[in-house]
């Protein structure tokens, strides 16, 4: 089996995508084809034996083969004609904009490229933190109180202090700020609004128990272990940046049977059917025995490989359970019938 890893793209999380892609080389046992999308959204075929972070920061990748995305896949130009890049399935490993907002999933679907990753609907819902809240409530999963605030709005903030401010469409803890009192509010808003014109405001609960669960659905749900991330007030960008390079399995959280069952039930409600074909990670809070969704990571860092005993096996199984498009008949029946009725 040959897997293509698509990474990079035009995103604030571009570098994290590069780190994630390199990490997969250590955990996938199959052949890997690396396809890089640079900040200008050009595609390049990166030699698997030469993939390093410096190759991208230095611009050396521009010497690699340029690729075109066309019907059926990616193609490299030859002296005479084109050569298709062969692989069995692609992993969409682009974090943030382009990868998680639906652009690339739409392109891959449009050009008929089989891929592991969120489809367009799941991307759009999970990329926007407000939509995620509304979706979770619709499927019966608890969320903390929240408020969306647009830049320049005079709306009063109704979430009590301490509170946490997040750019609405961004991950990896970029632009997030904890506000413990009113005098800290203006600065935190200024920082968050540098990344988005809308922010999400939630209560900040110090010392809250947080648990991460990754998984996907094949013939049945395939769950990872449940991790309790070790952190301070919140996992900031620098800690998460290092986190994305993880390849060693982490320790399992200590939970009672009811809490574990509740977390897995919430995951199932969120996953099926919106995220079929993707391996996602959901982050939950547990407050007074009640499970709340924190966020959905439709393309988790390093694909959350460190949460699985057999990550390679899970990915191979998932590649056999990708959503299939409805087959359409290639005909102009209605146009022909109208023309016939008019005698044309």
Per-residue pLDDT tens digits for 69-99: 999 999 999 888 899 999 999 999 999 999 9
Measured between alpha carbons, how far is 289 from 279 in angstroms, rounded to an integer?
27
- pLDDT score of 320 more than 70: yes
Does CATH number 3.30.1490.20 belong to domain 147-203? yes
State if pTM tops 0.95.
no
pLDDT band of residue 170 (cuts 50, 70, 90) is: confident
Tokens encoding 60: 């050396």
Q: In whole angstroms, what is the distance from residue 142 CA to residue 148 CA?
A: 17
Please state, in angstroms and rounded to a whole number, the distance separating the CA atoms of residues 246 and 179.
30
**CATH class, range 2-118:** alpha beta
pLDDT exceeds 80 at position 337: no
By C-alpha distance, which of 137, 138, 184, 135 is closest to 163? 184
Q: Which residues contact 198 (CB under 8 A, 6 or more apart)?
A: 130, 148, 149, 150, 151, 167, 168, 169
Asked if the 125-140+206-318 domain carries CATH number 3.30.470.20, the reply is yes
Domain edges within the chain: 2-118, 125-140+206-318, 147-203
């Amino acid at each position: 089996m040959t897997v293509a890893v698509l990474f990079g793209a035009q995103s604030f999380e571009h570098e994290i995508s590069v780190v994630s892609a390199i990490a997969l080389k250590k955990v996938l046992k199959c052949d890997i084809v690396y396809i890089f999308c640079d900040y200008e959204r050009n595609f390049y075929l990166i030699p698997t034996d030469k993939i390093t972070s410096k190759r991208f920061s230095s611009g050396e990748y521009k010497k690699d083969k340029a690729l075109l995305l066309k019907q059926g896949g990616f193609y490299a130009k030859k002296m005479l004609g084109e050569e298709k890049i062969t692989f069995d399935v692609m992993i969409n490993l682009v974090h943030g904009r382009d990868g998680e907002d639906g652009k690339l999933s739409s392109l891959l679907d449009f050009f008929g490229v089989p891929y592991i990753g969120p489809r367009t609907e799941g991307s759009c819902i999970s990329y926007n933190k407000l939509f995620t809240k509304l979706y979770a409530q619709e499927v019966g999963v608890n969320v903390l109180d929240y408020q969306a605030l647009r830049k320049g709005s005079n709306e009063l903030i109704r979430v009590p202090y301490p509170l946490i401010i997040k750019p609405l469409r961004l991950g990896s803890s970029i632009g997030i700020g904890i506000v413990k009192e009113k005098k800290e509010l203006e600065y935190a808003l200024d920082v968050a609004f540098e990344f988005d014109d809308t922010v999400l405001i939630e209560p900040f609960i110090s010392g809250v128990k947080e648990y991460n669960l990754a998984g996907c659905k094949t013939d049945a749900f395939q769950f990872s272990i449940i991790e309790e991330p070790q952190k301070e007030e919140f996992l900031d960008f620098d800690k998460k940046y290092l986190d994305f390079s993880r390849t060693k399995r982490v320790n399992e959280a200590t939970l009672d049977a009811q809490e574990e069952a509740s977390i897995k039930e919430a995951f199932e409600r969120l996953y099926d059917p919106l995220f079929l074909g993707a391996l996602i990670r959901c982050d939950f809070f547990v407050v007074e025995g009640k499970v709340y969704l924190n966020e959905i990571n439709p393309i988790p860092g390093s694909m959350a490989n460190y949460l699985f005993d057999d990550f390679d096996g899970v990915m191979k199984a998932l590649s056999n359970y990708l959503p299939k498009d409805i087959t359409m008949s290639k005909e102009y029946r209605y146009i022909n019938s109208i023309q016939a009725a008019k005698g044309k």
